[in-house]
Structure formats: structure tokens, C-alpha cells
Structure 1
Amino acid sequence: MNDATELLRLRGLSKTYNTGQPNEVQVLHALDLSLARGEFVALIGPSGSGKSTLLNILGLLERPTSGEHRLLGQAVQDLADDELTRLRREALGFVFQFHHLLPAFSALENVTLPALVRDGHVGAAQRARGQALLRAVGLADAMDRRPAQLSGGMQQRVAMARALMLEPALILADEPTGNLDTASSDEVFRLLREVHSQGHTAFLIVTHDPRLAARCDRIIELVDGRIARDVLTQPPA
């Protein structure tokens, strides 16, 4: 992987909680990991393996205890809090198991919310992008509906569109289908792959579902805070 294609690099990254205390616990152990621009990757592992901690660090919500963390060429560990906030807003998008939509907002207003937070208003171009994203995830006829008027799968599609609103370099998805039935899970995952194929955004998807992991281009398995497996897989045509 050369500098032009590298999106993310971790070198010797570790995370310890309660350092120096009797209940000190090391959750991540000297991780080395690189992601390229546009990759579609599954992160798997048993409960307690450190997946959530790693996702929080990659999402710039926590700082590592030691090691190197570079995102888009920037040494993240050296940034001040306000610089981390800016980088998080500009480079990252998030999709969670629960959609966290604002109930009083329409689907379109929820999708354009990141632009509202960043700029203080939603302009015509941003509104048009929000509409295009909702069409891309199959919700052209639901733009004015509020979350309570949408099914669980539809709500998660709104959350996907919202995560893409500011054209992030990396989407971090934490069990994005974990709260859905099998049919809805398959549909949301199909849309993730479709949206991925149309752009240059990388996806890192935490999942407990081996069927979904096998449909990613790469699988990273975390066990006891260490990378136990990092393999390329052949997605279905």
C-alpha cells in the first residue's frame, strides 16, 4: 500500500484503562493495521475482544495509550481536541446498531443534519445531495416521513444516507444490521455494498454475522485485543 492509497495506519497501538491502578486492564495490544481508500472490511471477534474500543479509537472518540494512529496522513495522536473534532466531522461517518434518528425531523432533515451542524444551515446544494442519497437507498418516496412512520430497515437506510452526507473517507459501522430481521439485514447490507460501489468511501463494519462478514472484501478478526486473522475474501458477484 502506497501513500496515495493509504487511508488509515496503526502501528503498535495499545489501549489501557485505569493505568497504574489495581484494576488496570489492557484492552488492545500493539496493533498494526492499515486500511486503503475504498476498502470494504469486516471487523469480527467475540465479545470482550476489544472491537468497541478499537472502533472508538478509529472514530476519534478515544485516544490510544501508546502507538501511532494516522488518518489521511495526519498523526492523530498529536492533535488537540478541537482538531480531532474537525477531522472526525470531515473524514468520518458513523452507522450504529440503533439508528439514532431525531424523531421530530423528517428523513431528509435527518440526512442533512451533519451539514446543519457543520455549517449552521442547509443550503440548496446540500438539500439536493440529501435527496440524492435517499433515492440511492431506495427512499425516494419517504423523504418527508418522520422515523416513527418508517420500518426498522428504512430507518437504518436513513442512517446510512446521513453517514454519507459529508462524503467521508471512512464509514465506521457498528453492527449496522444487528437490530434487524434476516430479510432487512440482507437488504441493508446489499445497499451498503451498492453505495460503496458507487463512490470512494471505505467501510469498516463490525458484525457478529458470519454471512455478512463473508460478503466483505476483507475480514479482520480481533481476539483478546490482538489481530488473530487478517484475510482477503472473494465477495459474491
Structure 2
Amino acid sequence: MANTPLLQLSGLRKSYNLGQPNAAEVLHGIDLRIGAGEFVALIGPSGSGKSTLLNILGLLEPATDGSYQLQGAEMAGLGDAALTRRRREALGFVFQFHHLLPAFTALENVTLPALMATGRVTAGERARAEELLAAVGLADALHKRPGELSGGMQQRVAIARALVHGPALVLADEPTGNLDTASSQAVFELLRAIHAERGTAFVLVTHDPRLAARCDRVVELVDGRIANDGPPPG
């Protein structure tokens, strides 16, 4: 693992409804270090805090206490504009539901992050989006809308969109959970191929033990604490 980790959490805690009778702490002092280029599964039962932890890693919500360093910079205390910039520069997201815009073509959906960031899409950004769609097997579907694509193909568009700005880390929340077995395997193999070819780090939340077993490292969260962290068993 690299001396300077891609991300490092130290004593990270998350509580909701602070100061109210129903206050609850859901993450209890998480220490986690992930190096550049790692492929990590995050597993655990429902209610263990996986989604909360992923939201914090994705700078979508703040921790209540503790430290989160991303690429060596502390994230705690940053304002909304700085967090948005860091999220846009360093992170990519793939969700169980692809969140594609139905009126946009596959190509337009992939270039959407650039459009939202600057209000326009350059020729270079469009070319990169076309290259990524070809890389995920959709060279012939650039101008098709989501409704014309299968579930697995839509998820491939979402993966291309997550990669279009060259993030160091992709956070994938049950990316195969809404797909049939064959499509699930194909999407997972695509993620592993992207990891191998581009060196992109992945944190993959999954309930599927078969997928977790094919990751390089498995972090198990139980009741808001890391119960196990290491290579998959076997």
C-alpha cells in the first residue's frame, strides 16, 4: 500500500438528530486506510452503516467527528463549493439505480458532468465520452436513449459517466443489485477490467458474497464498526 493513502479515516463518527431524544450514533470511530488502485468490497448486514459510510466517503454528508483525508487533504470543515470541487475532481459514483436522464442519449448522459461543471461540453470531453462508451462495449449505442437499452447496458452508461473525468476513486453502491445474474457478472467483470487497465480504485458495496470474494480486500462493517478487514477468505 502506498505511503500516502488515497483516503484515510481516523476516529470517524456519525450521529443523527444530535441534541434530540432520538439521537443515535451510527458510525463509532472508524479507522480505514485505502491506497491508490485498490479494489475493496464493503460488506455488512442491513443497518450496519455501509450507506452512511459511503455517503461520507463521497462527500455527500459530513462526519460528526474524526478525520477524513482524501489524497492527503483534510475534508472536515470544507465549505460546499470546495467539497463539490473535490467530489468532481477525485470521485466517481455508480449506484444500484443508474440515474440516467431518460431524455438524453447515452453520449449526452456521459458528458453531463462536464455540462453541469462548465455549462458546455468541449470536443475533447465529447471524444473522451465516446472512448469510454466504446470501452464499456457501447460504441454502437452512443445516440440511444436509456429506454432503448437493457438494464445492464444502462449500468454500463452509468459506469462510463462515473469515469469520464478520470477519478482516482469510484464508489459503487450495489452496482449489480438491480440486474439479473448474467448482467451482474458482466458489469462486475467490466469494473475489474477498468481497475486493471486504468488503476482506478474502487470501493464496492455489495450484499453478494460471490462478488465480495472476487475483490482484493473485504471490509466488513457490523453495527457501525469495522469487524474484519483483509483479503477475502479462501
TM range (shorter): over 0.9
Q: Look up the match of 1:121.
A: 120
Contact map agreement 1:217 1:234 (CA 8 A) in 2: no
State the one-letter code of the partner of 1:191: L
- The match for 1:156 is 155
Match of 1:198 in 2: 197
Pairs within 5 Å for 1:66-85: 66-85=65-84
**Corresponding residue for 1:86?**
85
Secondary structure of 1:48's match?
Answer: coil
Alignment match, 2:20: 21
Deviation at 1:38, TM superposition (A): 0.6
Q: Distance in 2 between matches of 1:88 and 1:182?
A: 31
Question: 2 CA distance for matches of 1:234 and 1:30?
Answer: 25
After TM superposition, the runs of 4+ consecutive aligned structure 1 residues lying more than 6 A away are none
CA contact (8 A) 2:7 2:34 kept: yes
Q: Give the conservation status (yes or no) of the 8 Å contact 2:212–2:232.
A: no
Instruction: Pick closer, same or farther for the CA change 1:11–1:127 going to 2, 3 Å.
Output: same
Partner of 1:223: 222
- SS at the partner of 1:108? helix
Amino acid at match of 1:18: N
One-letter amino acid of the structure 2 residue matched with residue 57 of structure 1:
I
Q: Is the 8 A contact 1:215 1:234 kept in 2?
A: no
Question: CA separation in 1, counterparts of 2:158 and 2:221?
Answer: 26
Match of 2:140 in 1: 141
Q: Deviations over 1:182-208 (max 9, x none)?
A: 000000001011111111211000000
Once the two structures are TM-superposed, the CA of residue 2 in structure 1 deviates from its matched residue by: 4.3
CA RMSD of aligned residues (A): 1.2
**Mapped partners of 2:198, 2:142: distance in 1:** 22
Secondary structure class of the residue paired with 1:78: coil
Paired residue for 2:179?
180
Residue segments in structure 1 that go unaligned for 5+ positions in a row: none
Q: For 1:71 and 1:178, how far apart are their aligned partners in 2?
A: 27
- The letter of the residue matching 1:50 is G
Letter in 2 for 1:85: T
Looking at structure 2, the residues matched to 58 and 116 of structure 1 have their Cα atoms a distance apart, in angstroms, of: 24
Alignment partner of 1:141: what SS?
helix
Q: Aligned partners of 1:234, 1:36: CA distance in 2, in Å?
A: 20
